[in-house]
Amino acid sequence: MSDLTTAKSIASAVRTRKALAAEVITASLERIRRTNEELNAFCDVYEEDALAAARRIDSRIANGEDVGSLAGVPVAVKDFTPLKGKRTTYGSLVYKDNIGEFDPIYVQRLRAAGAIVIGKTNTPEFAYSGFCHNKVFGTTVNPWDTTRTSGGSSGGAAAVVASNMVPLAEGTDMGGSIRGPASYCGCVGLKPSLGRIPMDILKSVHDTISHFGPLARTVEDAWLFLDATKGPNECDPMSLPDQAIPFDIDGGVKGLRIALSVDLGHFAVDDAVAKAMQTTADALRAAGAIVNPIDMPWDASIAEAFRTSWRVYLAAFEGDLLKKKRDLLDPDLADCLEEGFKIDGPTYKRVEILRRKIWLDLVSVFESHDALLCPTTAGTAPLASLRDKDFKSVRADGKLQAKGMTHPFNFTPHCPALSIPCGVGPGPLPIGAQIVGRRFDEATVLKIGRAVEKCGLMGDLRPRIFAE
């Protein structure tokens, strides 16, 4: 089974009966048993359910049925996402015994495509943090270096994919929670256009920063996840009409115009990351793309606006817990909730004024370019012992000392953004390039991502913890 390391290869082998889905799931479960203890990335594994589902798929194939594009592929679900009849804690002691009441639309669609949900992955409490830790399950660490974070909030998802426990995992992205972990763990992470995959798990149905999306080891696998789960549903009034999103396996970028911004105008970027971005740009030029360095007119006010928005969001959704269950909450989360209650209405509404500027600035870039290339994170994975509050200072030169460079593109939510491994820094630790596209243009983003993937910028390097 060692050659079946991608969703594409697994599904092809299962559909043609070169492998049984039950064999694939058994192999994945064995990799989880050997690997998860060190990473603490899976918080629940559904061994019996997954094997039963695999046997059903094998039986259907034996009867000549078409079981779908993800036949037999093991998939992980984030513990921020409910599953019917399964424990769903949201990383919170408040919900440590909570049982999910429904399966989200995307889960239903994955199963209809033949995928098999094999377990739940760890996340910070209510997905609030860029570090993957909580009081229920503890800390998830990075497969490249276990003293480092796997990122947040989809840190468990990135770790199980990067370490080869499963080829695909679901993440949610509300400020970079797919892309940041993908960058830190050296895998692919896609924030699709807002509404491309129906979002039906939030307390609000008119949220404009939240996305479901895949973490994968290849761009094509990310596309397979997207292709199986996209399309409208009445549960999400923001969901988009169905649209074919072709995938260019050749990654042809000849003639594409790509804007390059190493710092997005205001981030303090590590030298290794800046160097990796230049190498990525050169590789795309060699593949025929036109890559133009640009200056983005953005400053650290964007990060402050995002913090304002995020704190109000958290306070509105979970703020009642301060009075009822404060002792059970992560202290940093409790601080966020308190700060959210202190923000007045006009201050919160002014965020939308800044969002308009951010949007028009990006529109200006896309008037002459097909996509924007920038880092996903300003540095490689930080130590797992650090916290978000260690990364929000502004230097004397106005540059922001931050982890992720992702949140501006949650403020432009209809623009898809992909993180793709593009090099390594000291450690070695992986570096991710972020490719941002025009509204609803996942096809171009994936095309450029595939071109970067084909360049082989990671060489033969892979995580220290990698389950064969």
Could you say which of 213, 229, 245 is where a domain stops? 229
Which of 263, 269, 33, 40 lies closest to 149 in space, CA to CA?
40
Q: What residues make up the domain containing 17?
A: 7-229
pLDDT of residue 1: 53
Residue 2 in any domain: the answer is no
Catalytic residue positions, numbered: 78, 153, 177
Residue 459 belongs to a domain = no
Segment 214-263, tens digit of pLDDT: 999 999 999 999 999 999 999 999 999 999 999 999 999 999 999 999 99
Task: Among 210, 229, 248, give the residue marking a domain's end.
Answer: 229
Q: Could you report the per-residue pLDDT of 107-155, keeping only the tens digit for each?
A: 999 999 999 999 999 999 999 999 999 999 999 999 999 999 999 999 9
d(CA 386, CA 115): 36
Both 294 and 382 in one domain: the answer is: yes
- Tell me, yes or no, whether 243 lies in a domain: no
Q: Are residues 193 and 273 in the same domain?
A: no
Tell me, yes or no, whether 355 lies in a domain: yes
Residues 274 and 212 in one domain: no
- Residues 345, 274 share a domain: yes
| Domains in the chain, number | 2
pTM of model > 0.95? yes
Q: Are residues 266 and 214 in the same domain?
A: no
What is the C-alpha to C-alpha distance for residues 16 and 4, in angstroms, rounded to an integer? 13
Question: Is residue 285 domain-shared with residue 353, that is, in the same domain?
Answer: yes
Whether residues 273 and 192 share a domain: the answer is: no
Residue 361 belongs to some domain of the structure: yes
Per the CB < 8 A criterion, the answer to whether 247 and 418 are in contact is no
CATH code where residue 182 lies: 3.90.1300.10
Same domain, 94 and 171: yes
Instruction: With beta carbons less than 8 A apart as the criterion, state whether 13 and 57 touch.
Output: no
- Please, how many CA atoms are within 13 Å of residue 236, restricted to the half-sphere of its CB? 25
Do 143 and 49 lie in one domain? The reply is yes
pLDDT tens readout for residues 418-467:
999 999 999 999 999 999 999 999 999 999 999 999 999 999 999 999 99
Average pLDDT of the chain, as a whole number:
97
Mapping DSSP onto H, E and C, the string for 259-323 reads: EECCCCCCECCCHHHHHHHHHHHHHHHHCCCEEEECCCCCCCHHHHHHHHHHHHHHHHHHCCHHH
Kindly indicate the confidence band of residue 176, based on its pLDDT and cuts at 50, 70 and 90.
very high
> What pLDDT sits at residue 2?
58
Q: Do 418 and 290 fall within a single domain? A: yes
Task: Give yes or no: residues 208 and 278 share one domain.
Answer: no
pLDDT at 396: 87
Taking Cα atoms as reference points, which of 117, 113, 212 lies closest to residue 160?
117
Let me know if residue 303 belongs to a domain: yes
What is the rounded distance in angstroms from the CA atom of residue 184 to the CA atom of residue 379?
9
Structure tokens at 74: 């093991």
Q: Is residue 426 part of a domain?
A: yes
Q: Give yes or no: residues 263 and 189 share one domain.
A: no
Q: Which one has a higher pLDDT value, 398 or 183?
A: 183
Output the pLDDT for position 463.
98
Q: What is the pLDDT at residue 163?
A: 98
**Residue 241 within a domain:** no
The 10s digit of each residue's pLDDT in 358-381 is 999 999 999 999 999 999 999 999
CB 356 within 8 A of CB 333: no
Picking from 229, 248, 277, the residue at the C-terminal end of a domain is 229
